Amino acid sequence: MITLQEVEIAQENWGQGIVEISTEYDNGGDFVKRAELHINSLYDYKDGSVLFKPTFASEMQFRSTFEAALSYFVGENGVCPEDSGFAIKGWTNVRFQNDNVIIHGSTALAMGNYFFTNPEGNEVKVEYSFGYTKDREGNLRICLHHSSIPSV
């Protein structure tokens, strides 16, 4: 059974991971390795399938493989030429604002807005839907990730 607290912790971990990838990049560190850890520890690519529709993907809209997800986050592996590395934009904070979280036993769905703080201190609002499942060890994993910029 998934709990609301587990979903909120997973969201905090996801946001912290994005900030850490940006920090590694800004400090000249191994930001690709940090992004690999982010994906491997939070997404369900190893045990299952992931439905991932990133915010700024238009040519290759859906990222069903680890390599395509990594490309979106760091823009380094050449899988998707359109990618400039979402997670290396200098984000200093990410916060989630859930509109609703629905839990069905070993799966959960969350929808709302998340806010990315840029280097100038301004927040960028993005809409999201995340789906979660538990892996064999009982760890919460993202199996659905869809995000988009709000319509004006």
For the chain, list the domains and their CATH numbers.
4-148 (3.10.450.50)
Supply the pLDDT for residue 79.
Answer: 84
Supply the pLDDT for residue 56.
Answer: 82
Would you place residue 78 in the very low, low, confident or very high pLDDT band (cuts 50, 70, 90)? confident
How far is the C-alpha of 106 from the C-alpha of 12, rounded, in Å? 20
**In this predicted structure, which of 15-29, 121-135, 138-152 has the lowest mean pLDDT?**
138-152
**pTM, to two decimals:** 0.94
What phi, psi does 151 have (nearest 5°)?
A: -70, 140
SS (H, E, C) 59-112: CCCCCCCHHHHHHHHHCCCCCCCCCCCHHHCCCCEEEEEEEEEEEECCEEEEEE
